[in-house]
């Protein structure tokens, strides 16, 4: 998909920003849904008696659906554009939230999560593709960071506000509230976003041609290093903020649900600052990949420290600090954009997003299994969970460092 960007007028820029904010509203709801398990986990355990392994599968179901469908979403955006793809697919998230809200048991919860993940699948790729095709290339990193920060409003919702709602009503009310907000976001895209002139011409592309484009990407050796790191970076943050933060604070330190919601809110507020910060200080192609390795190892160290200590101040403090530093992950989008020709941008973003969210599903499932093994052995599960996340980050960073980088086949990061 090409990304030739004509020189925009001031009116064009204002219109593009308004449309981008509508897409960002959908992305914000995706962020809220993906972090909801951290705040509904305690009441779900209480009502349905879920095991740590089942919690991991419940949280991971969203990301398996979300990540597994990125190929399909990339093809859809190549053929029909981001607007129509979002309008056709996002209603499934609303339906999934309502099914989860009415769930009589664990099976219906999983069905709801899969539908929510499917509906949210085009959310962020739509934003990045819109930026790549409607704004100047030099602004890609900073604007992607800004959108990641704005989209993190969804994380704020799954902190104190939904914790209060759950305590006042039930966990089912949280799903209903997010379904209603998602309907408003869908309406914003429908009313505000307009297709550019010539949109829909891509529909003449055959499915076989679109799929062959993915094959070309996987034949490039540097794709594998990008995928290896993509599997673990965002997954590390989401395993903590999106699943284990609430249970860790409640079980390990005796926090109430609302108190753990306050911590989740603080983590989310600080996390909003990281992507815009790192987007603005992007060091460029010469240094960016070394930053990605270094900050990944730094975050891994934070997980190892949390695993080794049982101090509430350390756990809360490191969760907040790591949330800020995790903003470095926005540099991965700039790395992907610079690693491929413009015609491959849409599919490259889809592959990277697929790796990120399949990684989230994989890490949440694996940490659930780790927690179950630890519990069976009578060990404190959170030390095992945190250490395993740190080890996966180290493995991903080393793979990214030693696999070929863009450019010469033998070039390293």
Q: What is the mean pLDDT of residues 363-378?
A: 89
The pLDDT of residue 196 is above 70: no
The pLDDT of residue 277 is above 60: yes
Report if residue 203 sits inside a domain: no
Report if residue 238 sits inside a domain: yes
In the prediction, which pLDDT does 210 show? 67
Domain interval for residue 84: 10-192+208-402
For the chain, what is the domain count?
Answer: 1
The pLDDT of residue 109 is above 70: yes
pLDDT band at 141 (very low <50, low <70, confident <90, very high): confident
In the prediction, which pLDDT does 207 show? 63
Report if residue 40 sits inside a domain: yes
Report if residue 408 sits inside a domain: no
In the prediction, which pLDDT does 128 show? 82
Q: Whose CA is closest to 282, among 139, 127, 136, 135?
A: 139
Q: What is the mean pLDDT of residues 114-120?
A: 96
If phi over 0 gives left and psi between -120 and 50 gives alpha, with beta otherwise, what is residue 105?
Answer: beta
Distances (CA, A) of 241 to 4, 216, 280, 346, 398: 37, 35, 24, 28, 24
The pLDDT of residue 90 is above 80: yes
Q: What is the mean pLDDT of residues 263-288?
A: 86
195-199, 320-324, 350-354, 361-365, range with greatest mean pLDDT: 320-324
More confident residue, 298 or 196: 298
Report if residue 109 sits inside a domain: yes
More confident residue, 316 or 281: 316
Distances (CA, A) of 257 to 55, 105, 109, 220, 373: 17, 22, 21, 47, 25
In the prediction, which pLDDT does 300 show? 97
pLDDT, tens digit, 9 for 90 and up, residues 8-45: 555 566 688 899 999 999 999 999 998 898 889 889 98
Report if residue 142 sits inside a domain: yes
Enter the pTM of the model: 0.74
Report if residue 5 sits inside a domain: no
Neighbours of 320 (CB within 10 A): 17
More confident residue, 233 or 273: 233
In the prediction, which pLDDT does 55 show? 86
CATH code for the domain of 161: 1.20.1250.20
pLDDT band at 381 (very low <50, low <70, confident <90, very high): very high
Instruction: Give φ, ψ of 37 to 5 degrees.
Output: -55, -30
In the prediction, which pLDDT does 205 show? 56
The pLDDT of residue 157 is above 50: yes
Report if residue 222 sits inside a domain: yes
pLDDT, tens digit, 9 for 90 and up, residues 206-217: 666 766 777 888
In the prediction, which pLDDT does 295 show? 97
């Amino acid at each position: 998909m090409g990304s030739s960007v004509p020189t925009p007028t001031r009116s064009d820029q204002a219109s593009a920003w308004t449309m981008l904010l509508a897409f960002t509203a959908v992305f914000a709801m995706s962020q809220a849904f993906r972090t909801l398990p951290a705040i509904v986990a305690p009441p779900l355990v209480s009502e349905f008696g879920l095991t740590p392994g089942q919690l991991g599968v419940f949280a991971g179901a969203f990301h398996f659906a979300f990540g597994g469908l990125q190929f399909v979403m990339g093809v859809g955006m190549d053929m029909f554009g981001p607007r129509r793809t979002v309008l056709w697919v996002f209603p499934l998230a609303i339906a999934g939230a309502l099914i989860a809200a009415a769930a009589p048991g664990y099976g219906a919860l999983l069905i709801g999560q899969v539908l929510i993940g499917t509906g949210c699948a085009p959310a962020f790729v739509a934003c990045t593709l819109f930026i790549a095709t409607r704004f100047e290339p030099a602004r890609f990193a900073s604007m992607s960071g800004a959108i990641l920060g704005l989209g993190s409003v969804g994380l704020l919702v799954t902190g104190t506000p939904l914790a209060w709602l759950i305590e006042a009503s039930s966990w089912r009310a949280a799903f209903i509230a997010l379904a209603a907000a998602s309907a408003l976001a869908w309406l914003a895209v429908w009313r505000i976003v307009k297709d550019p002139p010539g949109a829909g011409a891509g529909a003449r592309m055959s499915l076989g041609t679109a799929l062959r484009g993915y094959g070309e990407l996987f034949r490039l050796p540097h794709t594998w290093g990008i995928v290896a790191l993509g599997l673990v970076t965002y997954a590390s943050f989401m395993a903590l903020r999106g699943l284990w933060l609430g249970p860790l604070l409640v079980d390990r330190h005796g926090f109430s649900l609302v108190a753990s919601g306050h911590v989740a809110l603080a983590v989310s507020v600080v996390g909003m600052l990281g992507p815009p910060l790192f987007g603005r200080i992007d060091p460029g192609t010469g240094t960016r990949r070394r930053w990605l390795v270094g900050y990944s190892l730094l975050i891994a160290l934070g997980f190892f420290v949390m695993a080794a200590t049982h101090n509430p101040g350390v756990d809360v403090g490191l969760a907040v600090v790591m949330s800020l530093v995790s903003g470095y992950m926005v540099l991965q989008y700039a790395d992907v954009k610079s690693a491929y020709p413009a015609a491959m941008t849409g599919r490259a973003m889809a592959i990277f997003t697929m790796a990120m969210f399949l990684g989230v599903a994989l890490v949440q499932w694996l940490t659930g299994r780790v927690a179950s093994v630890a519990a069976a052995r009578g060990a404190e599960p959170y030390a095992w969970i945190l250490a395993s996340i740190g080890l996966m980050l180290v493995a991903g960073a080393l793979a990214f460092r030693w696999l070929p980088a863009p450019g010469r086949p033998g070039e390293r990061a």
